[in-house]
Structure 1
Amino acid sequence: MAWQQITVITDEQTAPEVAELFSDLGAVSVTYMDAEDEPVYEPAIGETKIWSNTEVIALYEMDTDLKAVSARVHQSFDANLLRDWRQEQIEDQAWERAWMEYYRPMKFGDKLWVCPTGQEQHEPGTVCMLLDPGLAFGTGTHPTTALCLEWLAARDLTGKTVIDYGCGSGILAVAAVLLGAKVAHAVDIDPQALTATLSNAEKNAVQDKILVYLPEQLPKMRADIVLANILAKPLCDLSERISDLAVAGGALVLSGILAEQTAQVEDAYRALIELNAPTQQEDWIRLDGLRR
């Protein structure tokens, strides 16, 4: 199946209005992209980031009259606000399977493999987690996730209780259970992430040991290990909440932190957590330590 695509560059004030008009005119999807490589590190929770110069991309079915769409949009906005207007036909493909051509088994520490379906590793003394690209972020390829997986793979998790705060795909919760944890409680603000977590738990036959919650649904509890792979600002904003999820002497693992943000996160947790030295991979930092 093929699709028709319109791409146009506009400013951050106009982009939402253009996107809304595209949707009103029958677009099956509308996407924002950065038109000038402007870095974005920390949009607020629930915020859709719009760049100073934003590329708005609208996808239409093949029978849509793009001349009519173009005429309507150009009637509605000053021509100076609509730059680099492009129309093209794109072919459909199985996006997840195409992406998986570049996704290979990865080993973390001496004990944990993360593998796409069909590429399982059965090395003695290791466990293998099956994980395919899907609804939510988290496959182990990004340093923020890899840093957490390496921490888990280096510990004896036998019988431990775990909270994965900001679970995404559930990769950390599933890994913890496969490595011996008694139960993992997975928390995320996005219901789609909880769906992905349950799917990955079932794929790895650990669904009976993983419970999922929206933050407001999480019962009052404390765990032996708390993992929070989110971003520096929410880590700082939620420092008391996240720290309080760990038992006294329990471990906290914080990730999603750029190197230049290390000090501010350390400052937010220093009174609550006895922190170890930061661990760095590329531009990203993991902080870990024990609750005071």
Structure 2
Amino acid sequence: MPWIQLRINTTEDKAEQVSDMLQGWGAQAVSFVDAHDTPIYEPMPGEVIYWTNTVVVGLFDAEHPMDKVLSQLQKVAFFKNGVEYKLEQLEDKDWEREWMDNFHPIKFGRRLWVCPSWRDIPDPTAVNVMLDPGLAFGTGTHPTTALCMQWLDQHIQPEQTVVDFGCGSGILGIAALKLGAKRVVGIDIDPQAIEASTANAARNNVSGQIELYLPKDQPLLQADVVVANILAGPLAELSQVISAYVKPGGLLALSGILQSQAQSVMAAYQHEFSFEPVAEQEEWVRLSARKNGG
């Protein structure tokens, strides 16, 4: 069915109120967008992040009386000096199919491919990870994931144990197993990530080699390789937890970090690790290091 999208420019302190009003006026869905295209960070489950200048986007049925909605909008007290908005007619299409059609197999490094489960494998002789991301973060298209995949392709050795901290869709842990690792422990705060990782592990025939946990259940172990593709803030705050997973002489890769955040994250780990040169892609970086000792 066709839709009408109403975009309203507002501020972070008013965004929730505008959202509530749009839902009260008949919006089928409401979302929030940064007005100035600041990099988007993944929120914690249940958390909503607003930007200083936020665009609230309401989705309405095309038959909805939008003249009444706009009339009510003009009467809102905090828009007394005028409201900036935009009405858009959305094309009637299968948005899930549109997304699937634009998700293609991607190659990382010398031998590693990530292939959507609904597409043909380009190179059957390569190391192929079959992926259905579902609701969990991690498809390989984002620079932070790409940086980690390239690193895994270079560093994973047979028989290694790997910790994927913030496993999302399971893409990194499954790639490590396909590259020869013996065992992967995946940890994520989101139950949907555990479900997606479980399904993707089965799709790649590695269910017997991957263990998946919520943080409250995470085991005690030291691994040959630890990869954490989350966010700069949690990477710094959880540095002791993440560091403890790396055995002496083991390898660590950290991503989900903007260029401007690299030094502060590195500072949280440098007393235990020796860092390699920073790898960059677009505005994102990957930090890689070896733990002292061993």
Q: Do Structure 1 and Structure 2 share a fold, with TM-score over 0.5?
A: yes
Aligned pairs (5 A) from 1:43-62 = 45=44, 47-62=47-62
Please report the TM-score for the alignment, with normalisation by the length of structure 2.
Answer: 0.87
Partner amino acid for 1:203?
A: R
Q: 1:192 to 1:65 in 2, by over 3 A?
A: farther
* Structure 2 match to 1:206: 206
* Structure 2 match to 1:111: 111
Once the two structures are superposed, what CA deviation does each residue of 1:179-235 show, in whole Å capped at 9, x if it has no partner? 122222221222222222222222222223222222222122222211101122211
* Structure 2 match to 1:191: 191
Alpha-carbon offset, residue 156 of structure 1? 4.0
The Cα RMSD (Å) is 2.4
Q: Does 1:155 align with 2:152?
A: no
Q: 1:105 to 1:43 in 2, by over 3 A?
A: closer
Task: Please state whether the residue corresponding to 2:140 is helix, strand or coil.
Answer: coil
Deviates more, 1:8-17 or 1:82-91: 82-91
Percent identity of paired positions between Structure 1 and Structure 2 = 42
Alpha-carbon offset, residue 26 of structure 1? 4.1
Q: Return the alpha-carbon distance in structure 2 between the equivalents of residues 76 and 33 of structure 1.
A: 21
Say how many residue pairs are matched.
290
Q: Return the alpha-carbon distance in structure 2 between the equivalents of residues 190 and 65 of structure 1.
A: 39
Q: 1:20 to 1:286 in 2, by over 3 A?
A: same
* Structure 2 match to 1:230: 230
Q: Return the alpha-carbon distance in structure 1 between the equivalents of residues 98 and 250 of structure 2.
A: 41
Task: Please state whether the residue corresponding to 1:274 is helix, strand or coil.
Answer: strand
Q: Does 1:5 align with 2:5?
A: yes
Q: Return the alpha-carbon distance in structure 1 between the equivalents of residues 132 and 3 of structure 2.
A: 25
Please report the TM-score for the alignment, with normalisation by the length of structure 1.
Answer: 0.88
* Structure 1 match to 2:268: 268
Contact 2:161 2:184 in 1 (8 A): yes
Q: 1:63 to 1:44 in 2, by over 3 A?
A: closer
Q: 1:277 to 1:195 in 2, by over 3 A?
A: same
Q: 1:148 to 1:276 in 2, by over 3 A?
A: same
Note the residue ranges of structure 2 that are not aligned, 5 or more in a row: none
Note the residue ranges of structure 1 that are not aligned, 5 or more in a row: none
Q: Return the alpha-carbon distance in structure 1 between the equivalents of residues 81 and 196 of structure 2.
A: 39
* Structure 2 match to 1:121: 122
Partner amino acid for 1:277?
A: P
Partner amino acid for 2:122?
A: Q
Q: Return the alpha-carbon distance in structure 1 between the equivalents of residues 260 and 95 of structure 2.
A: 34
Alpha-carbon offset, residue 283 of structure 1? 2.5
Q: 1:285 to 1:80 in 2, by over 3 A?
A: same
Q: 1:66 to 1:212 in 2, by over 3 A?
A: farther
Partner amino acid for 1:220?
A: L
Task: Please state whether the residue corresponding to 1:83 is helix, strand or coil.
Answer: coil
Q: Return the alpha-carbon distance in structure 2 between the equivalents of residues 196 and 93 of structure 1.
A: 26
Partner amino acid for 2:255?
A: S
Aligned pairs (5 A) from 1:213-292 = 213-292=213-292
Contact 1:42 1:233 in 2 (8 A): no
Q: Return the alpha-carbon distance in structure 2 between the equivalents of residues 81 and 127 of structure 1.
A: 59
Contact 1:2 1:62 in 2 (8 A): yes
Alpha-carbon offset, residue 31 of structure 1? 0.5
Task: Please state whether the residue corresponding to 1:253 is helix, strand or coil.
Answer: strand
Contact 1:138 1:171 in 2 (8 A): yes
* Structure 1 match to 2:21: 21
* Structure 1 match to 2:174: 174
Alpha-carbon offset, residue 18 of structure 1? 0.8
Q: Return the alpha-carbon distance in structure 1 between the equivalents of residues 278 and 152 of structure 2.
A: 16
Q: Return the alpha-carbon distance in structure 1 between the equivalents of residues 217 and 26 of structure 2.
A: 37
Contact 1:10 1:81 in 2 (8 A): no
Partner amino acid for 1:122?
A: D
Alpha-carbon offset, residue 289 of structure 1? 1.8
Deviates more, 1:61-70 or 1:149-158: 61-70
Alpha-carbon offset, residue 6 of structure 1? 2.2
Alpha-carbon offset, residue 16 of structure 1? 0.9
Partner amino acid for 1:108?
A: F
Alpha-carbon offset, residue 176 of structure 1? 1.0
Q: Return the alpha-carbon distance in structure 2 between the equivalents of residues 121 and 194 of structure 1.
A: 28
Q: 1:71 to 1:208 in 2, by over 3 A?
A: farther
Partner amino acid for 1:247?
A: K
Q: Return the alpha-carbon distance in structure 1 between the equivalents of residues 280 and 79 of structure 2.
A: 47
Task: Please state whether the residue corresponding to 2:104 is helix, strand or coil.
Answer: coil
